[in-house]
Chain A
């Protein structure tokens, strides 16, 4: 049991390192911050100049779990416990909030923290604390 648990943490660390590698490659090749919310914005935005690059990155993201399936013979585990209306409202808040706050867990959390950006540190601290309060409040109220 103990080794099983440490194995999942090791997998998390290795998966994280790959996410970091993706962010490093995007910076060294395309010269950009691998922030998924900004990539989404660029993919649906009106400016055609960067649209292809952004759409390609999103397409690659979707390929990721498929490659995982090919490599490990099983899909990554995903348990969606939230009610549909929660998913809908949360999706809207995540999209709008990430744009208003100039970044998400990838842009601020991975890239910004790696650059020791004060704005990213403040954003990460804010969404971590608010995320924890949200989970605690939903648990207390018995909402999912």
Chain B
């Protein structure tokens, strides 16, 4: 079991590095380009569309392969979200996220990855993001129960 945790964590490190390298290559660490994609009435920059297309295509291939496997290589079973209902919580959360994403041009992946560049305002964004996650996760019990259920298998 201990060896398994180590192997899983090593795999996570490699996954994170590929993800962070991909974000760097894609140009999506730059909030100006992310906001450019959202600025459909102004200086529209389609780059994020290309990033999403590439990412969803390869990720989809991985998903199709996973469906033919009994379990992942380093764990006893897949941990995938099973919910299909679209509830108010999902939509309100996505809307709140959208305001912050549009305002700053950062989402969690690029915010964490670009910490490597040592730019002060990004540390402020990321610290406040961690606070937002922590406050949500410590909200009253009724919310927290659902958060826990989702946390293991998100999306």
The answer, yes or no, to whether B56 is at the interface (CB within 8 Å) is: yes
Main DSSP-derived SS at the B contact region? helix
Instruction: Kindly supply a per-residue 1/0 record for chain A positions 106-122, scoring 1 wherever the CB is within 8 Å of any chain B CB and 0 otherwise.
Output: 11111111110111101
**In the bound complex, do residue A104 and residue B108 qualify as a contact, i.e. CB atoms below 8 Å apart?**
yes
**In the bound complex, do residue A91 and residue B127 qualify as a contact, i.e. CB atoms below 8 Å apart?**
yes
Shortest distance between the CB of B135 and any CB in chain A (Å): 6
Instruction: Kindly supply a per-residue 1/0 record for chain A positions 28-61, scoring 1 wherever the CB is within 8 Å of any chain B CB and 0 otherwise.
Output: 1111111111101110110000101111111111
Most buried by A among B40, B55, B84: B55
Q: Please report the C-alpha to C-alpha distance between residue A85 and residue B68 in the assembled complex, in whole angstroms.
A: 48
Q: Given A34-B15, A78-B31, A63–B51 Cβ distance below 8 Å? A: no
User: Could you say which residues of chain B place their CB within 8 Å of the CB of A101?
Assistant: 89-97
User: Could you say which residues of chain A place their CB within 8 Å of the CB of B52?
Assistant: 16, 109-110, 113
User: Could you say which residues of chain B place their CB within 8 Å of the CB of A98?
Assistant: 93, 97, 107-108, 132-133
Chain B residue total in the interface (Cβ 8 A): 118
Shortest distance between the CB of B65 and any CB in chain A (Å): 6
User: Could you say which residues of chain B place their CB within 8 Å of the CB of A122?
Assistant: 86, 90-91, 94
Q: Given A53-B8, A119-B90, A36–B96 Cβ distance below 8 Å? A: no
Shortest distance between the CB of B117 and any CB in chain A (Å): 6
Of the candidates B91, B103, B130, B154, which one forms a contact with A103 in the assembled complex, judged by CB atoms under 8 Å apart?
Answer: B154
User: Could you say which residues of chain B place their CB within 8 Å of the CB of A24?
Assistant: 58-59, 61-63, 65
Instruction: Kindly supply a per-residue 1/0 record for chain B positions 20-37, scoring 1 wherever the CB is within 8 Å of any chain A CB and 0 otherwise.
Output: 111111111111100100
Q: Please report the C-alpha to C-alpha distance between residue A64 and residue B129 in the assembled complex, in whole angstroms.
A: 20
User: Could you say which residues of chain A place their CB within 8 Å of the CB of B58?
Assistant: 16-17, 19-21, 23-24
By a beta-carbon cutoff of 8 Å, the part of chain B in contact with chain A is: 5, 8-32, 35, 38-42, 46-48, 50-63, 65-66, 69, 71-75, 77-81, 83-86, 89-109, 111-117, 119, 121-122, 124-137, 147, 150-155
- Which are the 8 A-B pairs with shortest beta-carbon distances? A64-B20, A60-B16, A24-B62, A101-B93, A15-B26, A95-B132, A16-B54, A20-B58
